[in-house]
């Protein structure tokens, strides 16, 4: 969400780390991953003389996809990254239905669809196949996924100085080994 609420701010910190990591991947020719622009519905635009077009009325639109996609050795990658302040489990509601639907569509097209989880308190990061997450969600009777279940069904990533979240080795292990 582009709206600066408390939860949005938390999201932005993880997003900053992901953005730095994908910029590193691009610079080093490891992978080409971009964050998609925030979808905006433009209602009114002014064209003042001698200056650039100014949008004077617009609204945030619901995204129909995830935030990140790109290419890695010819393969299509698509993912969503979320964090929680909860210590023992990750709320299912942090992932929106349209994001999971999109990741399910990607997986059906044989793309690499995955999720990055961060637990803010412990700093732990996990990378999980989106299809595995959806299976666990479908089987669950709870509102959140326990951290030990996440840990058993994903690859951990150590956060570090640079790049802050080196998630591609986990993607390699999940999809190509």
Using CB under 8 A as the criterion, which residues of the chain lie in contact with its own copies when the complex forms? 2-3, 26, 29, 31-32, 34, 36-40, 42, 45, 47, 52-61, 64-65, 69-78, 105-106, 108-111
For residues 73 and 93, which CB has a smaller minimum distance to its own copies in the complex?
Answer: 73
The partner in contact with residue 34, picked from its own copies, Mg ion, none with C-beta cut-offs of 5 to 8 angstroms by kind, is its own copies
74's torsion region: left (phi>0), alpha (psi -120 to 50) or beta? Answer: left
The radius of gyration computed from the CA coordinates of the chain, to the nearest angstrom, equals 18
Is-contact 117 167, C-beta < 8 A?
A: no
The listed partner (its own copies, Mg ion, none) that binds 67, CB under 5 to 8 Å by sort, is Mg ion
- Among 94, 62, 97, which Cα is nearest to 81's? 94
Q: Which does 17 bind (CB under 5 to 8 A by kind): Mg ion, its own copies, none?
A: none
Torsions phi, psi for 56 (to 5 deg): -110, -10
CB of 118 to its own copies, least distance (A): 25
- The HSE-up count of residue 9 (CA atoms within 13 Å, CB side) is 3
**Shortest Cβ 67–Mg ion spacing (Å):** 4
Minimum CB distance to its own copies smaller for 61 or for 85: 61
Query: What track of x and - describes contact with Mg ion for positions 52 through 91 (by CB under 5 A)?
Result: ---------------x------------------------
- CB closer to its own copies, 36 vs 173: 36
Antiparallel, parallel or unpaired: β 112-119 and 125-129 = antiparallel
CB-based contact 126:151 (threshold 8 Å): yes
**Which C-beta is closer to its own copies: that of 40 or that of 121?**
40
For the chain, the distance separating the N- and C-terminal CA atoms, rounded to the nearest angstrom, is 34
Return the one option of Mg ion, its own copies, none that residue 142 interacts with (CB less than 5 to 8 A, by type). none
Asked if 122 contacts 88 with a C-beta cutoff of 8 angstroms, the reply is: no
CB of 141 to Mg ion, least distance (A): 27
């Amino acid at each position: 969400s582009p709206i600066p609420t408390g939860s949005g701010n938390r999201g932005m910190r993880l997003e900053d780390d992901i953005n730095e990591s994908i910029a590193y991947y691009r610079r080093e020719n490891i992978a080409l991953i971009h964050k998609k622009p925030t979808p905006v519905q433009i209602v009114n635009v002014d064209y003042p003389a001698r200056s650039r077009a100014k949008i004077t009325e617009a609204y945030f639109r619901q995204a129909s996809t995830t935030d990140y996609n790109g290419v890695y050795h010819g393969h299509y990658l698509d993912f969503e990254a979320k964090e929680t302040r909860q210590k023992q489990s990750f709320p299912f509601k942090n992932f929106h239905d349209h994001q999971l639907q999109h990741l399910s569509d990607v997986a059906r097209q044989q793309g690499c669809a995955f999720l990055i989880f961060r637990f803010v308190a412990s700093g732990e990061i996990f990378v999980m196949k989106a299809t595995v997450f959806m299976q666990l969600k479908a089987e669950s009777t709870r509102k959140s996924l326990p951290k030990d279940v996440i840990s058993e069904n994903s690859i951990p990533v150590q956060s570090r100085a640079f790049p802050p979240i080196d998630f591609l080795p986990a993607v390699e292990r999940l999809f190509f080994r």
